[in-house]
Amino acid sequence: MAKKKRSKKSGSPVANSSRRPDKGPWSDLEQTFFAAAPPDEAGPVAEAERFDDLDPIVPPRQQLPPGVQRLLDGLTRLVAAVTAPRLDLRTVTIAIASLVLLIGLSAAVFASHH
């Protein structure tokens, strides 16, 4: 079987964008769209955006007398200890028992339907 010869002329609209035999002239919308396209050659690279203004401005820490510093450290530890969530053994046991009960009930309902 002989190979078909391809013509060297390309009739695609992409290859020859100045004419469109099937659609007529370009509409205003199409002209505006192609005019807004970026240039084929890349311009200079813009500087990367910086977000320095989003960083909190922390003033330098002043030197406090040792007694005041210990007091502040103790207060910080006290606040952290008071606000930390507590998990006691009773709460953990109730949570596990509830989970086991839920799984058992789900298995019973599933078994009764099938």
Please provide the DSSP assignment of 22-91 as one string: TT-SPPHHHHHHHHTSPPSS--PPPPPP--GGGS---PPPPPPPHHHHHHHHHHHHHHHHHHS----HHH
Rg (CA), the chain: 37
- pLDDT at site 105: 92
Domain-wise residue ranges, the chain: 89-114
For the whole prediction, is pTM greater than 0.75? no
Cα gap 36→13, rounded to integer Å: 19
Mean confidence (pLDDT) of the chain: 77
Mean pLDDT of 42-70: 75
Say what percent of the chain tops pLDDT 70: 73
For residue 114, pLDDT over 60 is answered with yes
Q: N- to C-terminal Cα distance for the chain?
A: 64
